[in-house]
Amino acid sequence: MRDGLYKVDFHTVHGTGSGVIYATGGKIRGGNSGVAFIGSYTGKGEEITAKVTTQRHNFDPGLKPLFGNDSVTLTLKGLMTGDMIDMEGTALQLPGVNFKAVLTRISD
């Protein structure tokens, strides 16, 4: 995974969302208007694995958490193609719910 700023589009059977992350030196930091994303990643060639914890920071009742919980930990695997990374995984707190995300590199 190249260091830089990425836009993230993600979905589960419960809905869709988007946000941004900054990846550098094995760390992931980012979020959207309701949730912060904090985690780590490793990569070998085109394969990427990541572990990301979400933490809700905006408790507006109109912003519904995608997993129904204010905090979840995602374990993800993905494949990098150019400036895009397709990832899939699950939340430890809801193992039967599949999570898919597409990361698109925006900038260094």
Q: Which residues, 6+ apart, have CB-to-CB distance to 62 below 8 Å?
A: none
What pLDDT does 64 receive?
80
Burial of 29 (0-12, 13-18, 19+ CB in 10 A): middle
pLDDT of 90-103, one tens digit each? 999 988 899 999 99
User: What single-letter DSSP state applies at residue 69?
Assistant: S
Instruction: Give the residue extent of every domain in the chain.
Output: 4-107
Total-model pTM: 0.92
pLDDT at residue 74 tops 90 = yes
The C-alpha atoms of residue 101 and residue 18 are separated, in whole angstroms, by 9
The C-alpha atoms of residue 1 and residue 105 are separated, in whole angstroms, by 10
Please state which CATH class domain 4-107 belongs to: mainly beta
The C-alpha atoms of residue 28 and residue 91 are separated, in whole angstroms, by 17
pLDDT of 12-71, one tens digit each? 998 999 999 999 999 999 999 999 999 999 999 899 999 999 999 998 988 888 888 889
